Chains A and B, each alone.
Chain A
Amino acid sequence: MSITVRFRHDFPGFSLNAAFEAGSNGVTALFGPSGSGKTSCINVIAGLLSPAEGFVSIDGEILLDTEQGYNLPASRRRVGYVFQDARLFPHLTVSGNLDYAARRARPRPQSSERAAIIEMLGLGHLLDRHPRSLSGGEKQRVALGRALLTSPRVLLLDEPLAALDQGRKAEILPYLETLRDERRVPVIYVSHAIDEVARLADDIVLLNDGGVAAEGPVEEVLSRLDLFPLTGRFEAGAALRATVASQDAQTQMTEARFSGGSIWIPGLASEIGQPLRLRIRARDVMLARTAPDAISANNILAATITEFREEPGPYLDVRLACGDSFLLARITRMSRERLSLEPGDRVFAIIKSVSIERATSERTKA
């Protein structure tokens, strides 16, 4: 399953020229600052925006080809779209909203399918309610269910969490993860929040300045120092793939193993062997020339410095190779001088806190 997109469109004030491939790996994030054209990209895929020039195809089937003058209307593209503001129909109940999609889907979803989606998203007790009586999070879940019931070839999510507060976001993220893990539908996820992207995406397309700045697997792109201004300097960090190696019931800690060693995390309810995605913020990583002894941090990993990223100001970003993976550390220039750090140096990375995202890897590499 692959989605090919390339187009050019002029907006008042700026011109957008994007080209990328998506979908081969599950969730592709479209990431970039506000106004960089992320929503326009999915609008082009959905057919809601007809660019001046463009080409869109899903799995070989052409949806848009301006050179040939071909433009399949949005209503025929079989693309599921979840909007930032849910956009549930106020004159229908939740059940009515779901049926609206199901009735127009080709092929029609089976009733078992409908039941499964309702179950997965926890909509059972909401079916007779009207949208105006739902909370923001509930609305988004219904919107998700509605989009899924169109038997879509691809699911487009436009910053689905942006309109929600922290509590609601935390409530929905698990549903999105389940969605990613259990459905076979590729997802394109638009966001300007790096933690959402790190948690959910497999691949990432970075948009900036009217074009695509980078694309690739999320661990790799997020750890690239040259992309820091885009990947969010304060939140910058590495994304690691690891597996649950063991659980210590007594201290309630979980051991996650990856190619560079083991990382201990406060108790996760995961099974041995379960794939995990870890996100380690650069500012949480300390460097040492020698392995410290009596120190509280549980994670001391051997790593090699591969490069520095200089910038004006007191800070300095360091990229480290750790096994086959990469880590990022943010230190001061003062520290570098004091320790005389150079690329190629073998050091120890000390990690105190880790942000954990769970992921199963049943991603079919299509």
Chain B
Amino acid sequence: MSFTLSDAEIEAVILSLKISLVAVLVALPFAIAVAWLLSRHRFPGRSVLDAIVHMPLVLPPVVMGYLLLITFGARAPLGRWLLETFDIRLVFSWTGAALAAAIVTFPFQVRAIRLAMEAIDPGLTQAAETLGANAWDRFVSIILPLAAPGILAGAITAFAASLGEFGAIITFVSNIPGETRTLPLAIYTAIQTPGGEEAAARLAIMAITLAFAGLFLSEVAARKLRAIVGR
């Protein structure tokens, strides 16, 4: 078996990395905001928000893809509005794939960040308050730095999960080489193609390698961050 990746395979790897990176980064500020909301505050509708955030964990990915389709498809209200107003088309496009990955991996980020925030001693924010820090100041100068290891852990977990996302992507944006054919979709296609077993094997090895690299990086980064943050 040859270990050189074909152009199509390299394209799939790069596309996977691009989509996953964008998905995680775009979701991150929302994940931080939602985690913050859920971690310390009581407000009407809180448990509803909690449930919605965690839905992608329990719903089959294909259902997520389907929900995205009926929201952002060409005939759907939001999809049509996006197309007409901004000329933005999510179906068949890597941006749609990134959106699908972002939504499906959102709960991973929220959970990790929320855990980190809840572990912060509330006495510290009280102390900051007496030192003259208002709510936003406390969030930026105390909460975010102390939650940083959790934020990073959540982001890397979400990144790794995005790399592997299949059902939502293929249902929502289809399997377009160069646009939405990520590693898992490329493996799927290779398996279906006669003589594609070698390609499938190569791609699978790539996927495993990336997953390991991601886990390793996350451990190193988390350790470094914990040291800085003083835990």
A interface vs B, CB < 8 Å? 46-48, 73-81, 83, 85, 87, 89-91, 100-101, 104-106, 130-132, 146-147, 150
A74 cross-chain contacts in B, Cβ below 8 A? 129-130
- Also in contact, A87 and B123, with CB within 8 A (given A74-B129, A75-B133): yes
B208 CB within 8 Å of chain A: no
A150 cross-chain contacts in B, Cβ below 8 A? 130-132
B130 cross-chain contacts in A, Cβ below 8 A? 46, 48, 74-75, 77, 79-81, 147, 150
A80 cross-chain contacts in B, Cβ below 8 A? 130
B142 CB within 8 Å of chain A: yes
A47 to B128, CA, bound (A): 13
Q: Number of contacts between A and B (CB, 8 Å)?
A: 66
- Also in contact, A104 and B230, with CB within 8 A (given A81-B127, A87-B126): no
Which 5 residue pairs are nearest across A and B when measured between Cβ atoms?
A90-B230, A104-B132, A81-B130, A87-B127, A91-B229
Q: Report the minimal beta-carbon distance from B45 to chain A, rounded to whole angstroms.
A: 25
Q: Report the minimal beta-carbon distance from A3 to chain B, rounded to whole angstroms.
A: 16
Q: Is the CB of A90 within 8 A of B131?
A: no
B127 cross-chain contacts in A, Cβ below 8 A? 81, 83, 87, 89
A48 to B123, CA, bound (A): 11
B interface vs A, CB < 8 Å? 121, 123-124, 126-134, 137, 141-142, 145-146, 228-231
B229 cross-chain contacts in A, Cβ below 8 A? 90-91
Q: Is the CB of A131 within 8 A of B123?
A: no
Q: Is the CB of A75 within 8 A of B134?
A: yes
B124 cross-chain contacts in A, Cβ below 8 A? 87, 89
Q: Is the CB of B133 within 8 A of A90?
A: no
The residue on A at minimum CB distance from B228 is A91
A79 cross-chain contacts in B, Cβ below 8 A? 130
The residue on B at minimum CB distance from A86 is B127
B142 cross-chain contacts in A, Cβ below 8 A? 89
- Also in contact, A85 and B132, with CB within 8 A (given A91-B230, A100-B141): no
Q: Is the CB of A78 within 8 A of B134?
A: no
Q: Is the CB of A48 within 8 A of B126?
A: yes
Q: Report the minimal beta-carbon distance from A116 to chain B, rounded to whole angstroms.
A: 19
- Most B-side CB within 10 Å, residue of A47, A74, A150: A74
Kindly identify which residue among B132, B228, B231 contacts A101, using a CB–CB cutoff of 8 Å.
B132
The residue on A at minimum CB distance from B120 is A90
Q: Report the minimal beta-carbon distance from B229 to chain A, rounded to whole angstroms.
A: 4
A170 to B128, CA, bound (A): 28
Q: Report the minimal beta-carbon distance from B162 to chain A, rounded to whole angstroms.
A: 29
The residue on B at minimum CB distance from A77 is B130
B134 cross-chain contacts in A, Cβ below 8 A? 73, 75-76
The residue on A at minimum CB distance from B141 is A100
Query: What are 16 inter-chain pairs, A to B, with CB distance below 8 A?
Result: A47-B129, A48-B129, A74-B130, A75-B133, A75-B134, A81-B130, A90-B229, A90-B230, A91-B146, A91-B230, A100-B131, A106-B132, A132-B230, A147-B130, A147-B131, A150-B130
